[in-house]
Copies of this chain bind each other. A is one copy, B any other.
Amino acid sequence: MGKGRLEAFSDGVLAIVITIMVLELKVPHGSDLASLQPLLPVFLSYVLSFVYVGIYWNNHHHMLHATRRVSGGVLWANLHLLFWLSLFPFATAWMGENHFTAVPTAAYGVVLLMAAIAYWVLQQRIITLEGPDSLLARAVGADIKGKLSPLAYLLAIALAFVQPWLAWAVYVLVALVWLVPDRRIESRIEGS
């Protein structure tokens, strides 16, 4: 079964998720700079979520580039990932509009955590299909980043109830770590 439509559908959903988030940036009634100020937390949340969706698109792109075929199980694992990513606009807006209070900041972490787990499940599904000697299996390797990120999100969810800004710092930090594209796959592909 070809992977073309899986990529096209995922691209479509990710493009909509990343663009729909901006609709939460409600146009203010005033026309001076001061009227933009209350939007700042929503805008910062938007930037963070834009980067996260960008990271997912980027890694998804790399992962499927190293994939040769997909099965029905992979299609559903992919839809499961898209489900959690589709909750980004909601989680982003709730956190931003409440100025990073405890519960919404923790809820944002829960969505990040579930998306990370869904991504990992999808990756495992593909590796099972492709075999342990496949390009993807070797490229992923020990997958330190993929294993530490969920732990970091768990930590951030706990921190949100102590001091929400600490949770935010963790989210930003994890995003920065992932911003480095998955060079493992890239270099493996070029080396093969």
Q: Which residues of A contact B (CB under 8 A)?
A: 1-2, 5, 7-9, 11-20, 22-25, 27-28, 31-33, 36, 47, 50, 54, 57-58, 61, 65, 71-73, 75-76, 79, 82-83, 86-87, 89-90, 93-94, 97-98, 101-104, 107, 179, 181-183, 186, 189
Contacts of A33 in B (CB 8 A): 103
Contact check: which of B19, B36, B87, B103 meets A20 at CB < 8 Å? B19
Would you call A15 and B18 a contact (CB within 8 A)?
no
Q: Do A27 and B65 touch (CB < 8 A)?
A: no
11 cross-chain CB contacts under 8 A: A5-B61, A9-B11, A9-B14, A12-B14, A12-B15, A13-B19, A15-B16, A20-B22, A22-B87, A27-B90, A58-B76
Of B57, B72, B97, which one neighbours A9 at CB under 8 angstroms?
Answer: B57
- Asked if A104 meets B179 with Cβ closer than 8 Å, knowing A11-B9, A22-B87, A86-B22, the reply is no
Q: How far is the CA of A3 from the CA of B31 in the complex (A)?
A: 41
Residues of B within 8 A of A18 (CB): 13, 82, 86
Instruction: Report the separation of the CA atoms of residues A20 and B76 in the bound assembly, to the nearest whole angstrom.
Output: 20
Query: Which residue among A7, A15, A54 has the maximum number of chain B CB atoms within 10 Å of its CB?
Result: A15
CB neighbours (8 Å) of A14 from chain B are 9, 12
